Amino acid sequence: MQPVRSLAGFPEPFDLETGLLEKIAALIAPGVAIERGEGQAIISRDSEILEQLLQGSNHEPAIRLWVNHQCLVTTAAVARKKEFVEACQQAELWGWPVHVRASGGSTIVHRPGILNISLFQSGEGLSSSLGAAYQSLTGILVSALGALGIHADTGPVPGCYCDGQYNVRVKGRRIAGTACHRKNRGERYAQVLHAAMLVSGDLQTDMDIVSRFERLLGIDRCYAADACRSIEMVLALDFDQIAASQLALDGEVE
Amino acid sequence: MTDILVQTGLWEDTDTAVIGSWLYSDGDVVQAGAVIAEIMVEKSSFELTAPASGILHIGAAEESEVAAGQVVGRIS
């Protein structure tokens, strides 16, 4: 774990171990408090907000930041598999209860160290295209990472679980996965763009637990341990490079 | 008979869309405006609503690929 450092976006030094999630949250949505909860309730809150948006007249985009306890989160399609109930019982024994979300994709991990970002949009008639909608979320995340001195882009990352076209990537590795859920009532629509950003923690365990759960469901996918990066890992690597450069400079001066 | 059409203009033509699930069974009675199916596109779920009230006739299986504007069922 890195000690207290000063960082591009923050004039005040901070401890990477305890303050990074709050720092990145403040860059993504200044002034928005991080909700902390457990299990299905904090996941289902997105759908509840969509229903409120469908019934109201508010068209302003809104953002929600939240952190869940340790669990697996999968899709309704996976939940319809005949092996699902037994697989959930087994995963719970491992310490990973399973919950279901409304958006697409496949099974992912929630836990402290993963920041969930939900961007809500609503209006009448057709919205922007799906790509543009995803871009409205990934653009926020790319800008926030940029403030930390991290260059990010969007695109697929072959080898990572729950892959898609609109991951946020750093040097080709996924740092945030995204998904979307859209609801309609007549001409009115509401949609939530969701991202799960890897801030810190054990990514190997994340991948292993997803793989083990999927094998119980008869899904035999092979994931690459190196396909993901956390912000903590990226910053640590950069700090090491900065330190190495500084040592080289010091050597030249002497 | 009223056709049930996959929405148009919501995703790129190059994206692959599939019927994620039918929320009613073939032959069920549905009400106009009810959510009857989910379309999955690029990790996104879109609701498909009944264009009329009546009996649902499913024309595309779950997990099958569909195109924007395609008829995936009818309501009689």
| Chain segment B14-61, per-residue pLDDT in tens | 888 999 989 999 999 999 999 999 999 989 999 999 999 999 999 999
Q: What average pLDDT does range A232-237 have in this prediction?
A: 86
The confidence score (pLDDT) of residue A3 equals: 47
| Chain segment A154-176, per-residue pLDDT in tens | 999 999 999 999 999 999 999 99
Q: What angle do CA A227, A231, A234 make, to 5 degrees?
A: 70
Distance in angstroms (rounded) separating the CA atoms of residues A181 and A184: 10
Whether B8 and A71 have beta carbons less than 8 Å apart is answered as no
pLDDT at A125 over 80: no
The confidence score (pLDDT) of residue A41 equals: 94
pLDDT at A117 over 90: yes
Whether B39 and A104 have beta carbons less than 8 Å apart is answered as no
Q: Which of B43, B48, B62 to mutate: most A Cβ within 10 Å? A: B43
The torsion defined by the Cα of A20, A24, A30 and A36, in degrees rounded to 10, comes to -70
pLDDT at A1 over 50: no
Least Cα separation, residue A51 to chain B (angstroms)? 13
Distance in angstroms (rounded) separating the CA atoms of residues A121 and A188: 11
Residue A137's contacts (CB-CB under 8 Å, 6 or more residues apart) are: A117, A119, A178, A193, A194, A195
Q: What average pLDDT does range A38-63 have in this prediction?
A: 87
Can you list the domains of chain A with their CATH numbers?
Answer: 18-228 (3.30.930.10)
Residues of chain B that touch chain A, judged by Cβ-Cβ distance less than 8 Å: 9-12, 15, 20-21, 33, 35, 38, 40-47, 49
Q: What is the pTM of this model?
A: 0.87
Amino acid at B10: L
Q: Answer whether A198 touches B (CB < 8 Å).
A: no
Q: Are the beta carbons of B43 and A178 separated by less than 8 Å?
A: yes
ipTM metric: 0.85
Q: What average pLDDT does range A226-249 have in this prediction?
A: 74
Q: Are the beta carbons of A130 and B44 separated by less than 8 Å?
A: yes
pLDDT at A247 over 70: no
Can you list the domains of chain B with their CATH numbers?
Answer: 2-75 (2.40.50.100)
Chain B residue closest in CA terms to A178: B43
CA-nearest of A180, A174, A171, A104 to A137 is A180
